[in-house]
Amino acid sequence: MPDKKLKRALAPEPIAHQGMAGPGLFGDVGGQVKMADIAMLAGVSESTVSRALAGSKLVNPATRKRIEEIAATHSYSIDQRARNLRLSRTGTISVVFPLSHESEQGIADPFFLEMLGNLADQLSNRGYDLLLRKIRSDVPRMLTDLLREGRTDGVLLIGQSTQHDLINELAEHYQPLVVWGARQPDNRYITVGSDNRGGAAAAVRHLLDCGHRRIAFLGNRQLPEVAARYQGYSQALSAAGLSVAPDLLLPVPFDRQGAFAAISGFLDRDRAIDAVFAASDIVAIAAIRALDQHGLKVPHDVAVVGFDDIMVAAAYTPALSTVRQDIALGARTMVDLLFRLIEGEAVNSVELPTALMIRASSAHPA
Amino acid sequence: MPDKKLKRALAPEPIAHQGMAGPGLFGDVGGQVKMADIAMLAGVSESTVSRALAGSKLVNPATRKRIEEIAATHSYSIDQRARNLRLSRTGTISVVFPLSHESEQGIADPFFLEMLGNLADQLSNRGYDLLLRKIRSDVPRMLTDLLREGRTDGVLLIGQSTQHDLINELAEHYQPLVVWGARQPDNRYITVGSDNRGGAAAAVRHLLDCGHRRIAFLGNRQLPEVAARYQGYSQALSAAGLSVAPDLLLPVPFDRQGAFAAISGFLDRDRAIDAVFAASDIVAIAAIRALDQHGLKVPHDVAVVGFDDIMVAAAYTPALSTVRQDIALGARTMVDLLFRLIEGEAVNSVELPTALMIRASSAHPA
DNA sequence: CGCAGACTTGCAATCGATTGCAATCATGAT
DNA sequence: ATCATGATTGCAATCGATTGCAAGTCTGCG
């Protein structure tokens, strides 16, 4: 047998795809250089290159060093497509926003956007990519597609929307799933969320302490998180010996315009309220505007408390009292739980504490 | 030769990975079913399945129908990892945020978050996924890695940050790249951005029309977009026969706290201003708060105009006058240009019109 | 000098698809 | 009955990596 190794090393295509622009920082962008090229240059097999680059102990330190240098010289990076295929993983976590029918247009609420930013941080810290998906009405189809296509190692679902039952069914068959939202008795999936009930109760107690009695509740109680906040609201009222007045419960949507319209409509027929507890800061801000247009001053005539503590809340005029959710902690927790699920660990849902931020919009009436 | 086909069809593993939970909606999530399984069930080769599912005309309509039905029954989806590897594409577009040193912590500005939401819409409309990346200080390394790893078919860079030269160098070697930001004379990359100069000039003209003369400019002029806005500012002043007062130029950062601190510091030593033009709404809002804390009322004592028209601008109190950027159009344009680049078309940078939104914060002084 | 055992390395199968080319089949014309 | 022709289908290589197993090299010790 003639020397096969030599023959390979002398093969006509050294690596010269094209100009090979030298050591310039961006010389080889585009992924033309492959592992086989590095192997040939180093005079070893692909196996050895793979092992060297993966840090395996099975390669001679000298060989490894040479390979690493060659790889660096040609600014080679492992092709993640191929690697992931072989390892049957993806290196990608999907973040999915189920959009309710209301706001088909987009992820509007700053709370969710801030959450997204934090998740991106957390995931990139762990070397994972973040795949962003919005899902419209047909959640089941799109979600299963996403999973089956093998594009993702796990899913973070932001908000339960009104899809609780579907999520439950999905969870039966798909493990690496963490949902931001309210923990419910029959949840078969892992949730991370705030103590909605407790936070809301604290807010309403605060309004009661200020002497308010006719406190409107603004929010769509079909959403589990809002339902939990409503529980806190009603619980705080009961504790004070008051009962819930059904005419003070407004099922307003979460988007700005919808909320504004709903609240305006309400104020057109009923203005006998002295406080408002809104299920989100966006709703609270819409409420303040609507109140203003109806000649009611905040906090003088009506006190307002929101929920979330989005960035603008403190900067708003009047500064918005609100129940603070710790978004950064929430994101960290979701990612942490998801990776533990991926590793097969059994984990439990988490409920995070909230903090009542009292600001100008609910200052004690003079 | 014995009948090989028959042997295969009778092979022991029918497909029974496990329970095969029946036709339940989520029965087969997880990607266990592969093309080979479908092929076997249909009694054809993988080639035929591939062609049938890809809509090739090379398969018998009857065969195609049968394959499609079997695929549907077993809720099979093509594995995108494998497909993309074979086709050497990814089906993914990366959206990259270069974070300047200032705000290492995260994507804070609502403008960028709204942009992100819109990009997600546009990309998913085209069947592409959106990979979100934040890049810290070492832009070159991370960006080239991202590209070389073969994870992405194209890159949307949101904001030039202070990396103009690096981006230029990158663009020499990497084509499918569209940048949100200011068009500059020596750009070798495609940009989409607003008419920063024109928008700013309109805003400043408006302030001049209201009778203001000492108009502060708030923004970090190292950023190309801000530099362009500054040009508009200075141009409008010149046109009115005024000159730029260097002491009215404040290099404030883009994040809320930093902006607030910088403006407060300025007001501590100089309060002889009657208007403020801020390079972003976030800065404008910070300015309003700082002015308020220094006993200056907006718009009575000082008029304020921002830039962006983020969602809270109109809802703010006082409602914020601002230069509106059409985010949705911007996102659509970026995606459109990127896909045309990917298809090899030659395209040009785009500058989008802005609209001056006059609201309460700059109402004509009484 | 010979051989066991520890180190290194390479071969070849594999992940799950796509596709050029060859092979097969059916049909109609002669 | 024979053959050209077009319509279907299958074979096998390929995308770029990883890894179990076998083979080869080198060392030290008897």
Residue B323: CB less than 7 A from any atom in strand C: no
What is the predicted pLDDT for the residue at A364?
65
Residue B102: CB less than 7 A from any atom in strand C: no
With cut-offs at 50, 70 and 90, classify the pLDDT of residue A126.
confident
Which value, to the nearest 10 degrees, does the dihedral of the CA atoms of residues A227, A231, A236, A241 take?
120
Q: What phi and psi, each to the nearest 5 degrees, are found at residue A305?
A: -130, 135
Of A25, A92, A113, the CB nearest to B117: A113
What is the predicted pLDDT for the residue at B168?
86
Task: Identify the closest residue of chain A to B32 by CA–CA distance.
Answer: A148
B239 is a domain residue:
yes
Residues of chain B found within 8 Å of residue A113, distances taken between Cβ atoms: 110, 113-114, 116-117
Q: Is B57 helix (H, G, I), strand (E, B) or coil?
A: coil
What is the predicted pLDDT for the residue at A82?
93
With cut-offs at 50, 70 and 90, classify the pLDDT of residue A22.
very low
CA of A146 to C1' of D8 (A): 33
With cut-offs at 50, 70 and 90, classify the pLDDT of residue B98.
confident
What is the predicted pLDDT for the residue at B136?
67
Same domain, B215 and B302: yes
Residue nearest to nucleotide D18 (CA to C1'): A86
What is the predicted pLDDT for the residue at A261?
94
Same domain, B60 and B174: no
- The burial class, CB within 10 Å (0-12 / 13-18 / 19+), for B366 is exposed
Q: Any idea which of A33-37, B173-177, B350-354, B362-366 has the lowest mean pLDDT?
A: B362-366
Q: Which of B53, B151, B283 best tests the A interface by mutation, with the highest count of A CBs <10 A?
A: B151
Would you state the structure tokens that stand for residue B68, as one six-digit string?
A: 């499609």
3-state helix, strand, coil in chain B (%, to 5): 45, 15, 40
B366 vs A180 pLDDT, higher one: A180
Residues of chain A found within 8 Å of residue B28, distances taken between Cβ atoms: 148, 173
DSSP string, B81-131: HHHHHHHT--SEEEEEEEPPSTTTT----HHHHHHHHHHHHHHHHTT-EEE
How many structural domains is chain B composed of?
3
Cβ distance of A106 and B117 shorter than 8 Å: yes
Same domain, A208 and A317: yes
Q: Measure in Å the smallest separation between the Cα of A257 and chain B Cα atoms.
A: 10
pLDDT digits (tens, 9 = 90+) for A213-222: 999 999 999 9
Q: String of b and e for B46-77 (b: at least 16 CB within 10 Å)?
A: eebbbbbbeeeeebeeebbebbbebbeebbbb
Same domain, A278 and A300: yes
In sequence order, what are the residues at sequence separation of 6 or more whose Cβ sits closer than 8 angstroms to the Cβ of residue B355? B323, B324, B326
How confident is the model over B322-338, as a mean pLDDT? 97
Same domain, A137 and A189: yes
Residues of chain B found within 8 Å of residue A84, distances taken between Cβ atoms: 81
Q: Measure in Å the smallest separation between the Cα of A308 and chain B Cα atoms.
A: 15
Would you say B123 and B86 are in contact if contact means Cβ atoms under 8 Å apart?
A: no
Q: Measure in Å the smallest separation between the Cα of A184 and chain B Cα atoms.
A: 21
How confident is the model over B124-141, as a mean pLDDT? 76
A101 vs B93 pLDDT, higher one: B93
Q: Which of A20, A25, A168, A359 best tests the B interface by mutation, with the highest count of B CBs <10 A?
A: A25
Would you state the structure tokens that stand for residue B281, as one six-digit string?
A: 């709404």
A86 is a domain residue:
no
Q: Nearest-5° angle of CA A49, CA A51, CA A57?
A: 135
B24 vs B189 pLDDT, higher one: B189
Q: How far apart are CA A95 and CA A316, in angstroms?
A: 30
CA of A45 to C1' of D25 (A): 16
Q: Nearest Cα to B228, choosing from B164, B313, B170, B314?
A: B164
Among A181-185, A250-254, B44-48, B148-152, the range with the most confident prediction by mean pLDDT is B44-48
B159 vs B275 pLDDT, higher one: B275
Q: How far apart are CA A151 and CA B155, in angstroms?
A: 19
What is the predicted pLDDT for the residue at A7?
32
Same domain, A113 and A188: yes
Would you say A239 and A208 are in contact if contact means Cβ atoms under 8 Å apart?
A: no
What is the predicted pLDDT for the residue at B161?
80
Cβ distance of A129 and B124 shorter than 8 Å: no
Task: Identify the closest residue of chain A to B145 by CA–CA distance.
Answer: A77
Residue B6: CB less than 7 A from any atom in strand C: no
Would you state the structure tokens that stand for residue A35, as one six-digit string?
A: 């592992």
Task: Identify the closest residue of chain A to B150 by CA–CA distance.
Answer: A79
Query: Which amino acid appears at position A7 of this protein?
Result: K
Of B79, B90, B173, the CB nearest to A149: B79
Residues of chain B found within 8 Å of residue A27, distances taken between Cβ atoms: 173
CA of A252 to C1' of C5 (A): 77
Cβ distance of B28 and A148 shorter than 8 Å: yes
Q: Is the pLDDT of residue A342 over 80?
A: yes
Of A25, A151, A289, the CB nearest to B140: A25
Give the number of other Cβ atoms within 10 Å of residue B31's Cβ.
Answer: 17
Residues of chain B found within 8 Å of residue A120, distances taken between Cβ atoms: 106-107, 132-134
With cut-offs at 50, 70 and 90, classify the pLDDT of residue A171.
confident
Residue nearest to nucleotide D10 (CA to C1'): B45
Of A131, A173, A317, the CB nearest to B131: A131
DSSP conformational letter for B146: H
Would you say B234 and B201 are in contact if contact means Cβ atoms under 8 Å apart?
A: no
Q: Nearest Cα to B133, choosing from B166, B158, B97?
A: B97
Cβ distance of B110 and A113 shorter than 8 Å: yes
Q: Any idea which of A75-89, B13-27, B176-190, B307-321 has the lowest mean pLDDT?
A: B13-27
CA of A10 to C1' of C10 (A): 18
Question: Percent of chain B, pLDDT > 70?
Answer: 86
In sequence order, what are the residues at sequence separation of 6 or more whose Cβ sits closer than 8 angstroms to the Cβ of residue B320? B281, B284, B285, B288, B304, B305, B306, B312, B313, B314, B359, B360, B361
How confident is the model over B61-76, as a mean pLDDT? 95
pLDDT digits (tens, 9 = 90+) for A287-322: 999 999 999 999 999 999 999 999 889 888 889 999
How confident is the model over A82-108, as a mean pLDDT? 77
Task: Identify the closest residue of chain A to B27 by CA–CA distance.
Answer: A173
Give the number of other Cβ atoms within 10 Å of residue A65's Cβ.
Answer: 12
CA of A41 to C1' of D28 (A): 34
Per-residue CA distances from B108 to A95, A113, A129, A132, B196 (Å): 18, 9, 19, 18, 21
Query: In the predicted model, what is the mean pLDDT of chain A?
Result: 85
B87 is a domain residue:
no
Query: In the predicted model, what is the mean pLDDT of chain B?
Result: 85
Cβ distance of A120 and B113 shorter than 8 Å: no
How confident is the model over B50-62, as a mean pLDDT? 95
Q: How far apart are CA B355 and CA A313, in angstroms?
A: 26
A83 is a domain residue:
no
Cβ distance of B31 and A116 shorter than 8 Å: no
Q: Measure in Å the smallest separation between the Cα of A84 and chain B Cα atoms.
A: 8
B104 is a domain residue:
yes
Per-residue CA distances from A39 to A35, A42, A50, A56, B263 (Å): 6, 5, 9, 16, 58
What is the predicted pLDDT for the residue at B25?
47
Residues of chain B found within 8 Å of residue A286, distances taken between Cβ atoms: 315
**Positions of chain D reached by protein Cβ under 7 A:** 7-12, 14-20
Residue A54: CB less than 7 A from any atom in strand C: no
Would you say B297 and B360 are in contact if contact means Cβ atoms under 8 Å apart?
A: no
Residues of chain A found within 8 Å of residue B124, distances taken between Cβ atoms: 133-134
In sequence order, what are the residues at sequence separation of 6 or more whose Cβ sits closer than 8 angstroms to the Cβ of residue A309? A281, A322, A323, A324, A325, A357
Q: How far apart are CA B244 and CA B210, in angstroms?
A: 18
B86 vs B28 pLDDT, higher one: B86
Would you state the structure tokens that stand for residue A219, as one six-digit string?
A: 């929010």
Q: Which nucleotide is nearest to A60 (CA to C1')?
A: C8
B85 is a domain residue:
no
How many A/B residue pairs have CB atoms within 8 Å?
194
What is the predicted pLDDT for the residue at A107?
61
What is the predicted pLDDT for the residue at B132?
87
What's the CATH code of the domain at B40? 1.10.260.40
Q: Which residue has the tokens 């790889």?
A: A71
Same domain, A295 and A336: no
In sequence order, what are the residues at sequence separation of 6 or more whose Cβ sits closer than 8 angstroms to the Cβ of residue B362? B206, B207, B210, B275, B299, B303, B304, B305, B321
Residue A48: CB less than 7 A from any atom in strand C: yes
Same domain, B96 and B242: no
Q: Which nucleotide is nearest to B86 (CA to C1')?
A: D15
Residue A84: CB less than 7 A from any atom in strand C: no
What is the predicted pLDDT for the residue at A140?
63
Same domain, B201 and B133: no
Same domain, A203 and A298: yes
How confident is the model over A28-33, as a mean pLDDT? 61
Would you say A112 and A281 are in contact if contact means Cβ atoms under 8 Å apart?
A: no
What is the predicted pLDDT for the residue at B250?
95
What is the predicted pLDDT for the residue at A348?
96
What is the predicted pLDDT for the residue at A28?
47
Would you say B178 and B347 are in contact if contact means Cβ atoms under 8 Å apart?
A: no
B105 vs A189 pLDDT, higher one: A189
Cβ distance of A151 and B129 shorter than 8 Å: yes
DSSP string, B245-310: -GGGEE---SSHHHHHHHHHHHHHH----SEEEESSHHHHHHHHHHHHHTT--TTTT-EEEEEE--
Would you say B365 and B299 are in contact if contact means Cβ atoms under 8 Å apart?
A: yes
DSSP conformational letter for B137: S
Per-residue CA distances from A133 to A82, A98, A137, B130 (Å): 23, 9, 13, 8
What's the CATH code of the domain at B200? 3.40.50.2300
Would you state the structure tokens that stand for residue B119, as one six-digit string?
A: 């990009």
Q: Nearest Cα to A328, choosing from B105, B256, B113?
A: B105
Residues of chain B found within 8 Å of residue A81, distances taken between Cβ atoms: 81, 84-85, 90, 150-151
Same domain, B186 and B275: no
How confident is the model over B69-78, as a mean pLDDT? 93
Q: Measure in Å the smallest separation between the Cα of A195 and chain B Cα atoms.
A: 25
In sequence order, what are the residues at sequence separation of 6 or more whose Cβ sits closer than 8 angstroms to the Cβ of residue B150? A31, A79, A80, A81, A82, B88, B90
Of A78, A112, A143, the domain-final residue: A78
Would you state the structure tokens that stand for residue B10, as one six-digit string?
A: 């009778």
DSSP conformational letter for B13: -
Q: How far apart are CA A161 and CA A167, in angstroms?
A: 10
First to last CA, chain B: 100
Residue A82: CB less than 7 A from any atom in strand C: yes
Of A49, A78, A107, the domain-final residue: A78
Q: Is the pLDDT of residue A31 over 60?
A: no
Domain that holds residue A9: 4-78
What is the predicted pLDDT for the residue at B18?
32
A85 is a domain residue:
no
Of B50, B78, B106, the domain-final residue: B78
Q: Is the pLDDT of residue A168 over 80?
A: yes
A280 is a domain residue:
yes
Q: Any idea which of A40-54, A309-323, B122-136 has the lowest mean pLDDT?
A: B122-136
What is the predicted pLDDT for the residue at B194?
98
Same domain, A294 and A344: no
What is the predicted pLDDT for the residue at A104?
47
Q: Any idea which of A17-26, A156-165, B208-217 has the lowest mean pLDDT?
A: A17-26
